[in-house]
Amino acid sequence: MDLLNTLVDKGLRREPLSRAEALAVLGTSDDELLDVVAAAGKVRRHWFGRRVKLNYLVNLKSGLCPEDCSYCSQRLGSTAGILKYTWLKPDQASEAAAAGLAGGAKRVCLVASGRGPTDRDVDRVAGTIKTIKERHEGVEVCACLGLLSDGQAERLREAGADAYNHNLNTSEATYGEITTTHTYADRVDTVRKAHAAGLSACSGLIAGMGESDEDLVDVVFSLRELDPDSVPVNFLIPVEGTPLAEEWNLTPQRCLRILAMVRFVCPDIEVRIAGGREVHLRTMQPLALNLANSIFLGDYLTTEGQAGKADLDMIADAGFEVEGTDQVTLPEHRVGGCATQESAGCGSHEGGGVCGSAGETPPGQARTDLVSVRRRGAGTDLAPNA
């Protein structure tokens, strides 16, 4: 396809796509899917080789959030039967992180529910960051604590944080339909605060919430304008007890097309497959490694993911390799402007995603059996999945 040849050339030269080109990727047919994956794979390999970066989530504080984000099982009014607990102590968080690091993760993502941290919360997280870094040499730490106030990003950086995650989630035009307790502009402001403080900015999206192709292109172009080092692509996990529990709109093919679109728009940025890959990509997950160069290992915040050993087997079987702690994630031209030599981050809240428009999944084919609430790891006495 002439379109794909053009997009590969642009990706190798870091030339911006037009909106029409990005929409055309989403509009390709299933017959063209492998051609799309192969083309985007050339761009991925040019900038990131065959390395896959592993990231590990630690949910520092689960549930009881005052915000009303419709996709989140921790939201105000959620009846989802998730784990609910207050702040983990630094030793507990470090122990949880150790499991992920032992499984091959090079970045730990510290996440806490809530609108945003108080100054006391920042002090608490700063202590946790210091404990983890003292016990695990070379580990990268990303914080994901919600909306930041002035000066908080700087304090997290001083404590040793390498990155800060705050996702845009969806387009500005549709944001008010998903969340009413804060605004799209609030999220943009927090990403900019992280940038200004010298943290590696991480910001991504959630797809599968009934948005249009135009909405998906809008949010990805907005992310590109913010220039994060990492873009997590979440696939909505429709959890019972949330307003979006019936939104089963995704197919594996649709997810791959959107991942390809993100790669073409963000050719030299770390693209991470985040929440929901097991639920929506299913047996097509190995193909997605040709598009994204980063994944989360093991479980998510309130739901269970694929077993860590299965993740490692999948990477090896697909012909990729786990990125080592001595390897730099970002291309050289991006490293100079970063606070750290890595990119990364964590998906804010729970699985959102990168996939498709409403109506994509035929009726009766929702895989509700693949959604399982997390019952192990942080906040429990059971060993984590890593």
- Of 44, 72, 187, 374, which is the active-site residue? 72
* Burial annotation 180-192 (CB, 10 A radius, 16+ → b, else e): eebebebbbebbe
Query: Of 44, 75, 107, 142, which residue is the catalytic one?
Result: 142
Question: Active site residue: 107, 109, 255, 374, which one?
Answer: 109
Question: Of 44, 124, 187, 202, which is the active-site residue?
Answer: 202
The verdict on whether 72 is a catalytic residue reads: yes
Which structure tokens are listed for 129? 């960051």
Catalytic residue among 51, 69, 263, 346: 69
Active site residue 376: no
Active-site entry in 44, 51, 65, 338:
65
Q: CA angle at residue 248 from 243 to 252, to 5 degrees?
A: 145
236 bridge partner residues: 352
* Residue 144 annotated as catalytic: no
For residue 109, indicate whether it is catalytic: yes
User: Is 65 a residue of the active site?
Assistant: yes
What separation in angstroms does the CA of 295 have from each of 57, 70, 182, 309, 375?
A: 11, 24, 28, 13, 21
Binning the chain into helix, strand and coil, the percentages to the nearest 5 are 40, 15, 45
272: annotated active-site residue: yes
Q: Is 255 a catalytic residue?
A: no
Residue with tokens 């990005």: 22
Given 124, 263, 272, 374, the catalytic residue? 272
Q: Output DSSP code: residue 109.
A: E
Contact criterion met (CB below 8 Å) for 141 and 110: yes
Task: Give the residue numbers marked as catalytic.
Answer: 65, 69, 72, 109, 142, 202, 272
